[in-house]
Amino acid sequence: MGFFDKIKAGLTKTREALSNTLGAVFTGFSQLDDDFYDELEESLILADLGVETATKATDRLRKAVREQHIKEPEEAKAALKEILVQMLQVGDLELKLQTKPSVILVIGVNGVGKTTTIGKIATQQVRQGKKVLLVAGDTFRAAAADQLEIWAGRSGADIVRQHEGADPASVVYDGIQAARARDVDVIIIDTAGRLHNKANLMNELNKISRIVERELPAASKEVLLVLDGTTGQNGLIQAKTFKEIAGVTAIALTKLDGTAKGGIVIAVSDALQIPVKFVGVGEQADDLMPFEPKEFVEALI
């Protein structure tokens, strides 16, 4: 299944909601009047774009309709798609992994899918012939490193871990030394995401970043924030907090195969101006898709 089909299958719920509402907006109105725009904005909010982004998209459509002398709702639909695609193109969509080694620091609250996403990315990288090392920086529970170890086995990556309760920064230090010794291409660091104590989490992430920066000053680095697509606008609040404390460079949005309303992808890209680089559409190794704005919007509308 290609990106389009998988997303389409994954977003069945959203698409049902959207084709009922959005579809109805474009077929139910014969002219592009205020009622049309009100209805459109409301259905975009229902699709989880959030009020701010939905309003912005609607305003841009009004402007496009005026400037391009659009009369028909069908033409306006094409213009809206273009606007949404633009809102999703806020940066490079590929991971920047130019140096050997490169580092991906993976952050996000508990349960969003960090470890699973790491396993999936490792699978893709190993398939491309890269040597991958996973670093078990979530030392909060022993089970977290066990889970990462299972993914290492599945994907063909190496792993560095320590005992439960170890200092994450020290595990990261070990990982970097191991990566040097073993000629690793990509280091992927798992972290714990206990957001209930923001200062603590910030400290921990800062410490890890400092080690990486000190040991590998010239390396390509990505800070990948993982968000659960089913948490809707709540995810957006989390994302803002993490952006503030950790200098996020990329986003992976998981669980788009569930009850997620896909519009959250647009809300997150637009509000944070950080590109969504991956979407998770299941629990298996192959269920991670590189994000393609055009196909995504086509699948959505």
CB 87 within 8 A of CB 53: yes
Terminal-to-terminal C-alpha distance of the chain:
19
**CB 1 to ligand GDP: min, Å:** 14
Give the nearest distance from C-beta 199 to Mg ion in angstroms: 21
Using the contact rule CB under 6 A, the part of the chain among 32-40, 164-172, 177-185, 249-257 near ligand GDP is 249-257
Of the two residues 72 and 146, which places its CB atom closer to ligand GDP in the complex?
A: 146
Q: Is 257 in the site for ligand GDP (CB under 6 A)?
A: yes
Q: Where does this chain touch Mg ion (CB under 5 A) — which range of 127-135, 143-151, 155-163, 195-203?
A: 143-151
20 three-state secondary structure: helix
Which are the contacts of 272, defined by CB distance < 8 A and separation ≥ 6? 90, 239, 240, 243, 248, 251
| Least Cβ distance, residue 191 to ligand GDP (angstroms) | 9
Size of the site for ligand GDP (CB under 6 A): 17
Q: Which distant-in-sequence residues (6+ apart) come within 8 Å of 155 by Cβ?
A: 119, 122, 123, 126, 132, 285
- Alpha-carbon distance of 285 to 11, in angstroms, equals 19
Question: Judged by CB under 6 A, which of 2, 28, 91, 111 binds ligand GDP?
Answer: 111
Binding residue for ligand GDP, selected from 50, 73, 101, 108, defined by CB under 6 A: 108
Cis peptide before 101 (omega within 30 of 0): yes
What one-character DSSP code corresponds to residue 289? E
Q: Give yes or no for residue 58 binding ligand GDP (CB under 6 A).
A: no
| CB nearer Mg ion, residue 84 or residue 122 | 122
Q: Which of residues 43, 58, 115, 191 is near Mg ion by CB under 5 A?
A: 115
β-pairing verdict for 250-254 and 186-191: unpaired
Q: Is 114 or 131 the residue whose CB approaches Mg ion more closely?
A: 114
Q: Given strand 221-228, what is the order of strands in its sheet?
A: 158-160, 132-137, 186-191, 102-107, 221-228, 250-254, 276-280, 288-290
The residue (of 80 and 135) whose beta carbon lies closer to ligand GDP is: 135
Which residues lie near ligand GDP (CB under 6 A)? 108, 110-116, 254-255, 257-258, 280-283, 287
Q: List interacting residues with Mg ion (CB under 5 A).
A: 114-115, 144
